[in-house]
A and B are shown apart, each in its own frame.
Chain A
Amino acid sequence: MSAVADVIRTRVDAGSGALVGYLPVGFPTFDESVDAAVAIAQSGVDVIELGLPYSDPVMDGPVIQAATQQALARGFRLSHGFEAVRRITEQVSVPVLLMTYWNPVLSYGVERFADDLVDAGGAGLITPDLIPDEAEEWLAASERTGLDRVFLAAPSSSDARLVRAVEVSRGFVYAVSTMGITGARSDVDSAARGLVARLRDAGVEHTCVGLGISTAQQVREVLDYADGAIVGSALVSALSNGGVDAVASVAADLATGTGRRG
């Protein structure tokens, strides 16, 4: 039932895995953020993780903070998030997940948010500051609408918490590669490999690894044991420095790590 899970399954069955690309709405402008998302989808990104700028993004490192703060300063509104999903899914067929901190959803109304996301053609939510323990309302709304819900798993999570994350997630489980926040790192922690193995023991079907991945080589390494690799800061940096063409070319290069394009 999950478009995200279908895409990942197809990529895994083909012998590699999925490339998930993060970009925030409204950076550097609304139109360019839509164009950039379309461009990375056309350059080999399989699933788009579209970030909603938020005033207090505790999981984000400096690159993404700077971008989302600029989007907010230029007047980002939640309605732009739904509009961006609509415009992207009209142009390309990749599934689009929104990445959002919880308060904007709560403020909008969880049920109403879910309905409007379905209307816009969105696939679901990635919720970095919502743990399953506090997610009752969202579990109900996603059950009703069929939206995907991606929860996070960390190297420090207990076995019982991993089992719970696997049970409640739909689409994939977001495996946090290292203890920390978003941002490119030269080594993707060996903790990621161990976490993915523990998630497999907990019965996970699909898990994608994120935080710190910025090169095709790292994508290749991660796809060796995980079902997907999530790239954020490296794409945002490229967009920031070189615009839509630059982010498309970085995406194409990252996609070589999936072994499908060159």
Chain B
Amino acid sequence: MALRDETGPYFGEFGGRYVPESLVEALDELSEAWELAKLDPAFRAELDALLKDYVGRPSVVTEAQRFARHAGGARILLKREDLNHTGSHKINNVLGQALLTKRIGKTRVIAETGAGQHGVATATAAALFGLDCVIYMGEVDTERQALNVARMRLLGAEVIPVTTGSRTLKDAINDAMRDWVTNVEDTNYIFGTVAGPHPFPAMVRDLQKIIGEEAREQVLALTGRLPDAVAACVGGGSNAMGIFHAFLDDTAVGLYGFEAAGEGMDTLRHAATISRGRPGVLHGARTFLLQDEDGQTVESHSISAGLDYPGVGPEHSWLASIGRATYRGVTDAAAMDALRLLSRTEGIIPAIESSHALAGALELGRELGQDAVVLVNLSGRGDKDMETAGRYFDLIDAGAEQS
């Protein structure tokens, strides 16, 4: 069977549904609705129209020639998800799930968010479709992504800062699940990444795979061949699965996921789930996760809120276990250097999350050498990160760096 044909609930020994019984009915309902919707031409047409006229798809591919000079002479092609409406790949998934919400007749949506991009996308779709919207966001993240909190509120969503546990993405997911268990009758949970219980990993992947499908054609048209490597950052893993999927059965194409190595892979402060974790159960799926000896989830650390997650989607765990994709770490410092480099060489300010993929692409280019083609998923733009970047590079008060 082709690797592209996997539909869940299991990806090898990963995936499944480790959830309270109270959620099973809602998950079954979503699974069935999704199976029907994805085969329904009317649903597909409505989603395609939104992706074209509202999001601005297809997103372009930009060759980064000046940036590529730092990558050992390889050609670097950027898939520009940063140009989508709302500024990241997250909107692709949200519009599909929001349409599905209408289809199953629910009137309220909830979501978790880390960087705020998924929350902004969900709040946007809720505004567009007239749905009530509540976003759970770890208190730490509401501080480091304050701009996105303001955006969500302006769009009419209620943002609830989560104060339990590590006060980041994983705890926001816990609270969103608690809300869902309580309000499942009228509420749909729009999950933001390819993690969680079935059907989320497969459904979110199905909604994001358009990234790779477009990019595969675009790279063929531009270079006359397939890329040697595809690079993406991995938080929960949705932008990575989205760009990997079209290439899964192209065995000559190397697939590379870059996890946040934070302050270093050998410190305790990172979010390198596949590289440093071991299999277990978190947020409804069996997958790799950062955990201690007792199976307690260990807090992750990354300068990037969107990658600061101790779990990862089960399909990535499977791709890692069968050796089809390779996962590596990129430190905060390497990511921030790549962020500044792309800004200065190409005039594109990337999200800190996406900067992990860019740093990884520099590394891959040097390894693969002259004329290699590296396709990078530029999953989002850096507007939301200006405060972090301003502080990191000391741009705001001193101004000296702003030449």
Residues of A within 8 A of B (CB): 54-59, 61, 65, 69, 72, 77-78, 102-108, 128-131, 133-134, 151-158, 161, 165, 176, 179-181
Interfacial chain A residues near B177, Cβ < 8 Å: 58
CB distance from B271 to the nearest CB of A (A): 15
Enumerate chain A residues within 8 angstroms of B281, measured Cβ to Cβ.
Answer: 102-103, 106, 129
Interface residue stretch chosen among B11-19, B99-107, B130-138, B142-150: B11-19
The residues of B with any CB-CB pair to A shorter than 8 Å are 16-22, 24-26, 164-165, 170-171, 174, 177-178, 181-185, 280-284, 291, 293-297
CA A108 to CA B296, docked complex, whole Å = 11
CB closest chain-B residue, reference A162? B21
Instruction: A58-B178, A176-B21 are known; give 9 further A-B pairs, CB within 8 A.
Output: A103-B282, A103-B297, A107-B280, A129-B19, A131-B21, A156-B26, A165-B21, A179-B183, A181-B178
Beta-carbon contact of B181 and A69 below 8 Å? no
Smallest distance from the beta carbon of B88 to chain A beta carbons, Å?
Answer: 26
Max chain B Cβ within 10 angstroms of own Cβ: one of A107, A161, A165: A107
Chain B: minimal CB distance from A208 (Å)? 15
Please report the C-alpha to C-alpha distance between residue A180 and residue B182 in the assembled complex, in whole angstroms: 4
Bound-state Cα–Cα, A129 to B21, Å: 7
Taking the closest CB of chain B, its distance from the CB of A165, in whole angstroms, is 7
Q: Which of B18, B280, B295 contacts A134 (CB 8 A)?
A: B18
Pair A131/B19 contact, Cβ less than 8 Å: yes
Chain A residues whose C-beta falls within 8 Å of the C-beta of B16 in the assembled complex: 133-134
Q: Are A128 and B297 in contact (CB under 8 A)?
A: no
**Residues in B whose Cβ lies below 8 Å from that of A61:** 178
Are B20 and A55 closer than 8 Å at their CB atoms?
no
Main secondary structure, interface of B, reads mixed
A104 touches B22 (CB 8 A): no
A129 touches B181 (CB 8 A): no
Q: How far, in angstroms, from A170 to B271 measured CA to CA in the complex?
A: 40
A residues less than 8 Å from B181 (CB atoms): 58-59, 179-181
Q: Which residues of B contact A105 (CB under 8 A)?
A: 295
A56-B165, A106-B281, A179-B181 known; A77-B24 Cβ under 8 A? no
**Chain A to chain B contacts (Cβ below 8 Å), 25 pairs:** A56-B171, A57-B174, A58-B20, A59-B20, A59-B181, A77-B294, A103-B281, A103-B291, A103-B297, A106-B280, A106-B295, A107-B280, A108-B294, A129-B284, A131-B18, A131-B24, A152-B22, A154-B21, A155-B22, A156-B184, A157-B21, A161-B24, A176-B20, A179-B185, A181-B182
Decide: A179 and B22 in contact? CB cutoff 8 A. Answer: yes
Query: Which of chain B's residues have a CB closer than 8 A to the CB of A128?
Result: 20
| Contact residues in A for B165 (Cβ distance below 8 Å) | 55-56, 69
Count CB-based A-B contacts (< 8 Å). Answer: 107
Interchain CB contact under 8 A, B21 and A153: yes
Q: What are the residues of chain A within 8 A of B170 when measuring CB–CB?
A: 56
Per the bound structure, the CA–CA distance linking A164 and B281 in Å amounts to 23
The chain A residue sitting closest to B20, CB to CB, is A59
Q: Give chain B nearest CB distance to A110 CB in angstroms.
A: 11
If A129-B20, A134-B17, A134-B18 touch, whether A56 touches B185 (CB-CB below 8 Å) is no
Query: In the complex the two chains form, is B178's CB within 8 Å of A54's CB?
Result: no
Contact across chains for B296 and A72 when beta carbons are under 8 A apart: yes
Q: Check A179 against B24 for contact (C-beta < 8 Å).
A: no
Query: Which residues of A have CB within 8 Å of B20?
Result: 58-59, 128-129, 152, 154, 176
Query: A128 to B181, alpha carbons, bound, how many Å?
Result: 13
Which B residue sits closest to A158, measured CB to CB?
B25
Cβ 8 A contact of A104, one of B171, B284, B296:
B296
Bound complex: CA A103 to CA B310 (Å): 14
Contact across chains for B21 and A103 when beta carbons are under 8 A apart: no
Q: Are A157 and B295 also in contact (CB < 8 A) when A58-B177, A58-B178, A69-B164 are? A: no
Q: Which residues of chain B have C-beta atoms less than 8 A from A151's C-beta?
A: 21
A107 to chain B, nearest CB (A): 3
- Please give, as numbers and ranges, the residues of chain B lying within 8 Å of A134 by CB-CB distance: 16-18
Residues in chain B near residue A129, CB distance under 8 A: 18-20, 281, 284
Q: Chain A residues near B22 (CB, 8 Å)?
A: 152, 154-156, 176, 179-180
Query: Of residues A55, A102, A108, A158, which shows the largest number of chain B Cβ atoms within 10 Å of its Cβ?
Result: A55
Chain B residues positioned under 8 Å from A102 (CB to CB): 18, 281
In the assembly, what is the distance between CA of A77 and CA of B294, in Å? 7
Counting chain B CB atoms within 10 Å of each CB, the highest count among A105, A134, A158, A165 belongs to A134
With a cutoff of 8 Å between Cβ atoms, the chain B residues found around residue A104 in the complex are 294-296
Least CB separation from A135: chain B residue: B18
Residue of B nearest to A72 (CB): B296
Residues of chain A within 8 A (CB-CB) of B21 are 131, 151-154, 157, 161, 165, 176
B177 to chain A, nearest CB (A): 5
> In whole angstroms, how far apart are the Cα atoms of A158 and B25 in the complex?
7
Q: Which residues on A sit within 8 Å (CB–CB) of B280?
A: 103, 106-107
Q: Which 9 A-B pairs have the closest CB atoms?
A: A107-B295, A104-B295, A156-B25, A154-B22, A180-B182, A152-B21, A55-B297, A103-B295, A55-B296
Chain B residues whose CB sits within 8 angstroms of the CB of A181 once the complex forms: 178, 181-182
Most buried by B among A61, A108, A131, A133: A131
